[in-house]
Structure 1
Amino acid sequence: MQSDHKPNFYLLDKPKTWTSQDLCTKIKKNFNFNKVGHSGTLDPNADGLMLLATDSYTKLFDYIENTDKTYKATAILGYSSPTLDVDSDLIFHENINAASLTKDIENFLGNLVGESFQTPPIYSAIKVKGKRLYKYARQNQEVDIPVRKIIVDNTELLSVESNKVTFQITVSKGTYIRSIVEELGKSLNTVAIVEKLSRTSIGNLDINHSKLNKNIETMDYKSNLQSLDWKEVINLPILEINQEVLKSVQHGQLILSSMFSNQEKYILSINNDAVAIYKPFNEKYFKPDKVLL
Structure 2
Amino acid sequence: MNGIINILKPPGMTSHNVVSFLRRLSSMRRIGHTGTLDPGAAGVLPVCLGQATRVSEYVLHMDKVYRAELTLGKSTDTEDASGTMVAEQAVPVLNKQEITKVLSSFVGQQTQIPPMYSAVKVGGKKLYELARQGGEVDRKAREIHVYSMKLLQVDKQKITFDVACSRGTYVRTLCREIAEKLGTVGHMSFLLRTGVGPFLLQDSFTLEELSALGQKESLSAVLLSADTALGHLPAISLSHQQAGRVANGNTISLDTVDLSEGSLVRIYAEKQQFLAVGRIKEGRLKPEKVFNKD
Verify same fold: TM over 0.5.
Answer: yes
CA contact (8 A) 1:13 1:216 kept: no
Q: Matched residue of 1:23: which SS?
A: helix
Which whole-Å CA distance do the structure 1 matches of 2:133 and 2:86 have between them?
Answer: 21
What is the total number of aligned residue pairs between the two structures?
283
CA shift for structure 1 position 82: 1.5
Q: Which residue of 2 aligns with 1:274?
A: 274
Q: Matched residue of 1:262: which SS?
A: coil
Q: Which residue of 2 aligns with 1:213?
A: 205
Q: Which residue of 2 aligns with 1:262?
A: 258
Which whole-Å CA distance do the structure 2 matches of 1:42 and 1:243 have between them?
Answer: 41
Which whole-Å CA distance do the structure 2 matches of 1:134 and 1:273 have between them?
Answer: 44
CA contact (8 A) 2:55 2:229 kept: no
CA contact (8 A) 1:255 1:287 kept: yes
> Aligned pair in 2 of structure 1 residues 237, 92: CA closer, same or farther (>3 Å)?
closer
Percent of aligned pairs with the same amino acid:
29
Q: 2:195 aligns with which of 201, 223, 230?
A: 201
Q: 2:250 aligns with which of 245, 250, 253?
A: 253
Q: 2:74 aligns with which of 74, 79, 86?
A: 79
> Aligned pair in 2 of structure 1 residues 129, 91: CA closer, same or farther (>3 Å)?
closer
Which whole-Å CA distance do the structure 1 matches of 2:254 and 2:264 have between them?
Answer: 11
2:224 maps to a residue whose letter is L
Q: Which residue of 1 aligns with 2:50?
A: 55
Q: Provide, for residues 109-167 of structure 1, a one-character-per-residue CA deviation record: whole Å limited to 9, x for no partner.
A: 01011111111111111111221111111112231111111111111111111211111
Show structure 1 runs of 4+ deviating over 6 A. Answer: none
Which whole-Å CA distance do the structure 1 matches of 2:91 and 2:182 have between them?
Answer: 10
CA contact (8 A) 2:7 2:45 kept: yes
Extract unaligned runs of 5+ from structure 1: none
5 Å matches for 1:172-187? 172-187=166-181
Q: 1:222 aligns with which of 215, 220, 243?
A: 215
2:215 maps to a residue whose letter is K
Which whole-Å CA distance do the structure 2 matches of 1:66 and 1:120 have between them?
Answer: 17
Q: Matched residue of 1:140: which SS?
A: coil
State the TM-score, normalizing by the size of structure 1: 0.85
Q: Matched residue of 1:100: which SS?
A: coil
Q: Which residue of 1 aligns with 2:91?
A: 96
CA shift for structure 1 position 19: 1.1
CA shift for structure 1 position 66: 7.7
**Greater Cα shift, 107-116 or 81-90:** 81-90
> Aligned pair in 2 of structure 1 residues 217, 86: CA closer, same or farther (>3 Å)?
farther
Q: Provide, for residues 5-39 of structure 1, a one-character-per-residue CA deviation record: whole Å limited to 9, x for no partner.
A: 2x212211000011111112222332133322233
Q: Matched residue of 2:215: which SS?
A: coil
CA shift for structure 1 position 101: 4.9
Q: Which residue of 2 aligns with 1:286?
A: 285
Which whole-Å CA distance do the structure 2 matches of 1:61 and 1:216 have between them?
Answer: 24
Q: Matched residue of 1:290: which SS?
A: strand
> Aligned pair in 2 of structure 1 residues 135, 232: CA closer, same or farther (>3 Å)?
same
Q: Provide, for residues 159-181 of structure 1, a one-character-per-residue CA deviation record: whole Å limited to 9, x for no partner.
A: 11121111111111110011001
Q: Which residue of 1 aligns with 2:229?
A: 233
Which whole-Å CA distance do the structure 2 matches of 1:19 and 1:65 have between them?
Answer: 17
- By percentage of residues, which structure has more helix? 2
Which whole-Å CA distance do the structure 1 matches of 2:205 and 2:113 have between them?
Answer: 33
> Aligned pair in 2 of structure 1 residues 95, 189: CA closer, same or farther (>3 Å)?
closer
Q: Matched residue of 2:71: which SS?
A: strand
Q: 2:37 aligns with which of 24, 42, 62?
A: 42
Which whole-Å CA distance do the structure 1 matches of 2:174 and 2:250 have between them?
Answer: 48
Which whole-Å CA distance do the structure 1 matches of 2:235 and 2:88 have between them?
Answer: 56
Q: Provide, for residues 257-279 of structure 1, a one-character-per-residue CA deviation record: whole Å limited to 9, x for no partner.
A: 23x65344332234655332222
5 Å matches for 1:137-156? 137-156=131-150
Q: 1:70 aligns with which of 59, 65, 73?
A: 65
Q: Provide, for residues 182-237 of structure 1, a one-character-per-residue CA deviation record: whole Å limited to 9, x for no partner.
A: 1012112321011111011122332222xx21244872742653122444421223
1:68 maps to a residue whose letter is D
Q: Which residue of 2 aligns with 1:190?
A: 184
Which whole-Å CA distance do the structure 1 matches of 2:120 and 2:54 have between them?
Answer: 21
CA contact (8 A) 1:72 1:168 kept: yes
